[in-house]
Amino acid sequence: MHLFVRSTLAALALASPLAAQAASPAACKPGQPIHDSGYVKIGGIEQWISIDGEDCGKPAILVLHGGPGNPNSVYQTDAYGAWSKNYVVVHWDQRASGLTWSRNAPNEDDPLLLSQMRDDGAELSRHLLQRLGKRKLVLLGSSWGSILGGHMAASSPQLYCAWMPVAQVVNEVENVRLSREMILARARAANDGETLAKIEALGTPPWTNPRNFGILRRATRKYEAMVTDPMPPAWGEWKEERSTPKARADYVAGEDYSYIQFVGYKGDGIMSQVDMTTQAVNFKLPVYMVHGDQDLVAPKEIAQRYFEKISAPRKQLVIVPRAGHDPNVPLIDAQARLLASQLGGRCE
């Protein structure tokens, strides 16, 4: 595994084959801060992760981004940045995303497999346990991350002390159908003929045109914005070193590839194979779900039905007012409060 480097710029410059032979650093000790980022060989390829915490003795959280191709590493201000005081926060540019794409761009015809990414996540988790001197991690995932993390937590419960799904996506048929119905109802109530015409023209899902999902997503963002607190502008600012033409091109390429792999050219992508109610419902660890009251992408009614089916030693669901599918302050704060109340600052 690769030696971590202390800055993003240094990691981007890391090209020597000797780096691949470097041993993993010794576990950091309680009381020591850690601010590392770099490539780690996971699943046979180099994948980018960053670790930030004021005290290595605090619980470690592995954050799974959404998309699948939307890593948090591009942003100047991390929505979970303030958590580094009470936790060690780990971000991971998943296979075919962000800086992992920059180092290991797949061929256009290479499939992106949920099972492969699940195994990537488990391998990364074992690396982090050794790297940080932990027995277990907290696992947190939002949107696509709620799918990936659910599969990771169900298949490798020994690696995690808690699983926190956020903006839980359950399955394509239910999520997309209800999302479309909710947008149609709101567009009619608002006398929004333009949106109404666009969404009606999509027809009833399941869909075979990948553009349909993007059209619906733009409508959900429009209507969520009317009833939710906005995301702080700083959360959307790109890091200077990620704003170069090549870095932006790599990000967009990874995002496009991951989107097509997720929805499929004919509605036959990863999402068509996902049904969390049958694939990830029995957990041998606590499950703490957080969901926006105004989520129009993954409506709360579907997430609640899934939550009721979950079997776990402990479970809790928090519905957050004035929060939609994308992160905002109420949604992040609700996650922090729930973890603090349930973990008590500890994770074995």
67 lies in the same domain as 206: no
| Residue-wise pLDDT tens digits, 297-323 | 999 999 999 999 999 999 999 999 999
Interatomic CA distance for residues 156 and 119, integer angstroms: 9
Interatomic CA distance for residues 133 and 128, integer angstroms: 8
Cis amide bond preceding 25, omega within 30: no
29 lies in the same domain as 143: yes
22 lies in the same domain as 141: yes
98 lies in the same domain as 217: no
Q: Has residue 3 been placed in a domain? A: no
Positive or negative CA dihedral for 220, 221, 225, 228? Answer: positive
80 lies in the same domain as 15: yes
pLDDT over threshold 90, residue 32: yes
84 lies in the same domain as 134: yes
User: Domain ends where: 209, 225, 241?
Assistant: 225
Q: Has residue 1 been placed in a domain? A: no
Q: Has residue 132 been placed in a domain? A: yes
310 lies in the same domain as 165: yes
Average pLDDT over residues 235-243: 83
Q: Has residue 348 been placed in a domain? A: no
Residues forming a β-bridge with 42: 45
Confidence band for 173, pLDDT divided at 50, 70 and 90: confident
Residue 250's CATH number: 3.40.50.1820
How much is the pLDDT for 243?
80
pLDDT over threshold 80, residue 219: yes
31 burial (CB, 10 Å; 0-12 / 13-18 / 19+) is: exposed
Q: Has residue 2 been placed in a domain? A: no
| Residue-wise pLDDT tens digits, 34-50 | 999 999 999 999 999 99
141 lies in the same domain as 244: yes
62 lies in the same domain as 187: no
pLDDT over threshold 80, residue 19: no
167 lies in the same domain as 303: yes
Q: Has residue 133 been placed in a domain? A: yes
pLDDT over threshold 60, residue 278: yes
Residue 213 lies in domain: 174-225
Q: Has residue 261 been placed in a domain? A: yes
Helix (H, G, I), strand (E, B) or coil at 124: helix
| Residue-wise pLDDT tens digits, 316-333 | 999 999 999 999 999 999
User: Domain ends where: 186, 209, 225?
Assistant: 225
Q: Which residue did the predictor score with more confidence, 166 or 73?
A: 166
Q: How many domains does the structure of the chain reveal?
A: 2
55 lies in the same domain as 180: no
122 lies in the same domain as 180: no
User: Domain ends where: 225, 257, 291?
Assistant: 225
Q: How far is CA 317 from CA 50, 130, 144, in A?
A: 29, 31, 18
Burial pattern 96-115, b for ≥16 Cβ within 10 A else e, equals bbbbbbbbbebeeeeebebe
Q: Has residue 103 been placed in a domain? A: yes
